[in-house]
């Protein structure tokens, strides 16, 4: 009869229920905390995604709508501008009957004077001058509010036709976008023509021909040199001052003296 094999002694490990329960509890807590953190991140990600999509859609709609208008304005003169409507319905200005004048009928001297004081680099830039905007931003930081804009003639035209004059960084941003579109679609000559015909020259006065007839009862082509200089001087602050009282403002006085020295007879 075979001998029975003796099995080795086996000592079962000690079992501590409290320790096992605590380990399981810690594991469950860790899993739940990770799950909760993921749940907390998901709403933030969803909100961020919605905001990014909304910004993208806004830009696409804005660019498409303004580009469509600019393609139209390349051949057709605007019947009214956003600034005209704003001044009429918000400020209740009486809008003078616009008198459109082609660019070639505006004296070359008037064109040169305006470019000199408003945007000396007009024919060289592509709608915006980043250095001028950066310098204006630094000055505004010192004043604590948007005082200077660094706007080119193209940006001023964009603001006049599509936007409102209330100063803000958002308006400046939209202004820059439209200016780039204008340079691409319209070209310098058409931009300058729109500028002269829709720029604000007083309360309810838009366009250089309208201003010339309102202030001097004469066409811009028939104005004396000093009268033309006074009109160009006004562009910097046409709401507060007229052609014969701007001397009270230091900036306008400097503009006038510069133009007289440069172009006066």
179-195 residue pLDDT tens: 999 999 999 999 999 99
Condensed to tens digits (0 to 9), the pLDDT of residues 42-68 reads 677 788 888 999 999 999 999 999 999
In this structure, the answer to whether residues 245 and 222 fall within a common structural domain is yes
Choose one of 47, 76, 105: the last residue of a domain.
76
In a domain, 10, yes or no: no
> Are residues 246 and 148 part of one domain?
yes
pTM given for the model? 0.80
Higher model confidence: residue 194 or residue 9?
A: 194
pLDDT higher than 60, residue 39: no
- Dihedral over alpha carbons 102, 239, 264, 214 (to 10 degrees): 50
Same domain, 145 and 53: no
The reply to whether 229 falls in a domain is yes
* CA dist., res. 252 & res. 235, Å (int): 9
Boundaries of domain holding 54: 31-76
Are residues 66 and 84 both part of a single domain? no
Torsion of CA 23, 29, 30, 32, to 10 degrees: 150
Start-to-end CA distance of the chain, whole Å, equals 142
């Amino acid at each position: 009869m075979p001998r029975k094999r003796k099995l080795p002694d086996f000592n079962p490990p000690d079992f501590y229920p409290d320790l096992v329960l605590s380990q399981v509890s810690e594991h469950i807590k860790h899993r739940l905390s990770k799950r909760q953190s993921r749940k907390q991140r998901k709403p933030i990600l969803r909100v961020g995604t919605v905001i990014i999509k909304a910004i993208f859609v806004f830009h696409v709609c804005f660019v498409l709508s303004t580009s469509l208008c600019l393609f139209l304005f390349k051949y057709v003169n605007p019947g009214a501008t956003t600034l005209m409507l704003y001044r009429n319905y918000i400020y209740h200005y009486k809008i003078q009957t616009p008198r459109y004048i082609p660019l070639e009928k505006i004296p070359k001297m008037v064109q040169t004077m305006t470019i000199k004081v408003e945007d000396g680099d007009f024919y060289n830039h592509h709608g915006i001058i980043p250095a001028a905007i950066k310098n204006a931003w630094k000055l505004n930081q010192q004043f604590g509010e948007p005082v200077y804009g660094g706007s080119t003639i193209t940006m001023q035209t964009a603001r006049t036709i599509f936007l409102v004059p209330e100063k803000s960084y958002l308006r400046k941003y939209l202004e820059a976008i439209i200016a780039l579109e204008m340079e691409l679609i319209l070209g310098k000559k058409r931009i300058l023509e729109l500028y002269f015909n829709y720029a604000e020259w007083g309360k309810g006065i838009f366009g250089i021909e309208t201003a010339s007839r309102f202030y001097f009862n004469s066409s811009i082509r028939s104005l004396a040199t000093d009268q033309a200089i006074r009109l160009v001087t006004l562009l910097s602050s046409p709401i507060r001052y007229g052609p014969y009282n701007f001397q009270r403002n230091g900036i306008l006085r400097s503009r006038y003296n510069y133009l007289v020295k440069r172009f006066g007879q």
